[in-house]
């Protein structure tokens, strides 16, 4: 059992992300809820995870599925009550599972009481909790664009002012330059610590130091000053695990975010690897084939760059990303082999792994008619690109490949109606492949992806090399195989992953010949070749 009062316990942990709206409904309204999560804790305990990153469950008008919070200290009623939340924290703790709440500190909902007060006048209470600029209705302060499309400034005629919103119009940015606002946020965080929450995921934390007048939206000059104050004032207990979402982070800066002295955070989610299949100079919607050597160099940079000076998070999936088995594996013929291979490639690395709901059973992307997409980012993208005159087939190809809705189809529990997610009408489309891909079938199959993840988690807890080992990339320019070694003391680990659907030739390094097999997705390795999406791990030295 991990001592979760001590800094660094998360270095031996594996976390699981739950997107509550799509996890498990218990009251038939078609929306996942907190009692549903409680009903699935035994499943998560069986998997072997140590903590749950819970996407927002706070009160919200749901303009961005809860990332637009209207009351940080209340639960959105369709998710349940505060008593349900307290029961979840207690029931999870009984199973050795920490609750890590998702904190959205960069912006609130425009339906938050603070913003409602702010709208009452330039001198109203909380007006300066937000970012306002004077101006006429036709002259926004500048031409900064919002992440979800359109201008980043919204005009309020009654005030003769514009407010800044990095995301949706209904998500006004909070003004971190205002110490009163910062204190209000710290007070809110302590409310959740006092309820027994043992960690926090910090939404777009790299945006809180923004200076929109200077066109700086991420990595502002005061960012790390604010994060150190946040850490001192709100994350006082050294056992609190904190992970910041930092799309702009590079490995140099990540060393500051996650420095061993703990002045800032435990780790960050960085996204450099998320662009190795995007067209040069494009964004996530501009598709390109996976450049495996580029991915390997990126992993190497982060593994070596943070070794001994910071800490990596390890993820392929989350609620904003397409399903990895569809993206970099094969979600048809070799779905099981490639899902296991991708898991091995990630879980052999140094860092804290995060498993996104459904990843452990190989859930896949979905293709829908454009009218059935729910995600604000996807809908705005479609409108924007169609207005630009792009071919609809190209726009839809980007949406099929990269829409955040790929990750938001309801969790597939069994082969029954709505995949066992709800007895009602699901809020969002259930992937029709649930009849084959579901947790019940996985639990009945000893060779399932679920049990592969379960074994990987157990291996990480058994052999110190997974947590402490350094990283050496093998065969950097090989475009088919990702292979690397880890080493600590006399213990060595070899991880080999064929990222293609072809049989390729590849030789085990002589010093690993006869190594202890730890895990593989095919029966005994064939000499000198790797089968489609074949992966395996071998170990040498260390205690048996």
Among 115, 132, 153, 167, binds ligand TEU (CB under 6 A): 167
Q: Does 284 bind ligand TEU (CB under 6 A)?
A: yes
In the bound state with ligand TEU, the residue whose beta carbon lies nearer, of 376 and 465, is: 376
* Catalytic-residue membership of 203: yes
Which one among 25, 33, 59, 64 touches ligand TEU, defined by CB under 6 A? 64
One character per residue 338-367, x = contact with ligand TEU (rule: CB under 6 A): ------------------------------
Identity of the residue, 408 or 540, whose beta carbon is nearer to ligand TEU in the bound complex: 408
491-498/535-540 β-pairing: antiparallel
- Whole-angstrom Cα distance, residue 353 to residue 176? 30
Chosen residue from 210, 404, 539, 540 binding ligand TEU by CB under 6 A: 404
Q: Is 374 left (phi over 0), alpha (psi -120 to 50) or beta?
A: alpha
Nearer to ligand TEU, 14 or 202 (CB): 202
For residue 279, CA distances in Å to 257, 284, 311, 382 come to 29, 8, 29, 19
DSSP character at residue 10? G
Paired strand residues for 537: 495, 519
Q: What are phi and psi of 74, to 5 degrees?
A: -140, 160
Identify the active-site residue in 245, 253, 330, 375. Answer: 245
Q: Which is nearer to ligand TEU, 271 or 522 (CB)?
A: 271
116 φ, ψ to 5°? Answer: -60, -40
Rounded CA separation 291/260 (Å)? 33
Secondary structure in 3-state letters for 75-110 = ECHHHCCHHHHHHHHHHHHHCCCEEEEEECCCECCC
Return the half-sphere exposure (C-beta side, CA atoms, 13 A cut-off) of residue 411: 28
Among 9, 23, 67, 302, binds ligand TEU (CB under 6 A): 67
- Choosing from 50, 68, 110, 203, the catalytic residue is 203
Q: Does 512 bind ligand TEU (CB under 6 A)?
A: no
d(CA 329, CA 91): 35
Is residue 128 part of the annotated active site? The answer reads: no
Number of residues that bind ligand TEU (CB under 6 A): 13
Q: Is residue 248 part of the contact set for ligand TEU (CB under 6 A)?
A: no
- Binding status of residue 204 toward ligand TEU by CB under 6 A: yes
Contact string 97-116 vs ligand TEU (x = CB under 6 A):
-------x------------
Choice between 245 and 317, CB closer to ligand TEU: 245
Query: Contact with ligand TEU (CB under 6 A): which of 12, 26, 39, 147?
Result: 147
By CB under 6 A, tell whether 165 contacts ligand TEU: no
Encoded tokens for 394: 């190209």
C-beta closer to ligand TEU: residue 63 or 535: 63
Tally of residues, the chain? 544
The full DSSP string for 391-444 is -HHHHHHHHHHH-GGGG-SPP---SSGGGGS-SS--SSPPPGGGGTS-HHHHHT
List active site positions.
203, 245
Residues lying near ligand TEU in the complex (CB under 6 A):
64, 67, 104, 147, 167, 203-204, 245, 247, 284, 319-320, 404
């Amino acid at each position: 059992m991990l001592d979760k009062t001590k800094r660094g316990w998360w270095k031996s942990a594996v976390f699981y992300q739950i997107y509550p709206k799509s996890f498990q409904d218990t009251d038939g309204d078609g929306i996942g809820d907190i009692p549903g999560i409680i009903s699935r804790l035994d499943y998560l305990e069986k998997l072997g995870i140590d903590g749950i990153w819970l996407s927002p469950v706070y009160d919200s008008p749901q303009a961005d599925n809860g990332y637009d919070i209207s009351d940080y200290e209340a639960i959105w009623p369709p998710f349940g009550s505060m008593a349900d939340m307290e029961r979840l924290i207690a029931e999870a703790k009984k199973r050795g599972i920490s609750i890590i709440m998702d904190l959205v500190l960069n912006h609130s909902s425009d339906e938050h009481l603070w913003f409602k007060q702010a709208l009452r006048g330039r001198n109203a209470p909380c007006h300066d909790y937000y970012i306002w600029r004077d101006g006429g209705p036709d002259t926004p302060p500048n031409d900064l664009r919002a992440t979800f499309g359109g201008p980043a400034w919204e005009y309020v005629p009654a005030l003769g002012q514009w407010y800044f919103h990095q995301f949706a119009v209904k998500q006004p940015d909070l003004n971190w330059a205002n110490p009163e606002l910062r204190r209000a946020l710290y007070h809110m965080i302590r409310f959740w610590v006092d309820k027994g929450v043992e960690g926090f995921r910090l939404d777009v934390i790299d945006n809180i130091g923004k200076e929109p007048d200077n066109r700086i939206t991420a990595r502002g000059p005061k960012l790390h000053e604010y994060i150190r104050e946040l850490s001192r004032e709100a994350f006082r207990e050294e056992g609190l695990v904190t992970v910041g979402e930092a799309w702009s982070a590079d490995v140099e800066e990540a060393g500051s975010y996650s420095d061993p002295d703990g002045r800032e955070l435990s780790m960050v989610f960085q996204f450099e690897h998320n662009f190795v299949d995007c067209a040069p100079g494009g964004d996530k919607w501009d598709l390109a084939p996976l450049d495996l050597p580029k991915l390997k160099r990126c992993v190497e940079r982060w593994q070596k760059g943070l070794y001994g000076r910071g800490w990596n998070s390890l993820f392929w999936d989350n609620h904003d990303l397409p399903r990895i088995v569809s993206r970099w594996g094969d979600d048809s013929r070799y779905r099981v082999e490639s899902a296991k291979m991708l898991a091995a490639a990630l879980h052999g690395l140094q860092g804290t792994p995060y498993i996104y709901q459904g990843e452990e059973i190989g859930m896949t992307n979905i293709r829908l008619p454009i009218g059935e997409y729910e995600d604000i980012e996807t809908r705005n993208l479609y409108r924007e690109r169609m207005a630009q005159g792009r071919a609809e087939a190209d726009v839809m190809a980007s949406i099929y490949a990269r829409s955040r809705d790929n990750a938001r189809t309801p969790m597939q529990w069994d082969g029954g109606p709505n995949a066992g997610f709800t007895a009602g009408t699901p809020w969002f489309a259930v992937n029709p492949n649930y009849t084959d891909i579901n947790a019940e079938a996985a639990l009945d199959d000893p060779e399932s992806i679920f049990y592969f993840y379960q074994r990987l988690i157990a291996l990480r807890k058994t052999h110190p090399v997974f947590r402490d080992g350094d990283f050496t990339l093998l065969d950097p320019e090989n475009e088919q195989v990702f292979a690397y070694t880890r080493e600590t003391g006399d213990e060595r680990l070899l991880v080999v992953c064929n990222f293609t659907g072809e049989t390729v030739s590849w030789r085990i390094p002589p010093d690993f010949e006869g190594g202890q097999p730890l895990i593989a997705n095919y029966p005994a390795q064939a000499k000198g070749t790797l089968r489609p999406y074949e992966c395996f791990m071998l170990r040498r030295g260390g205690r048996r």
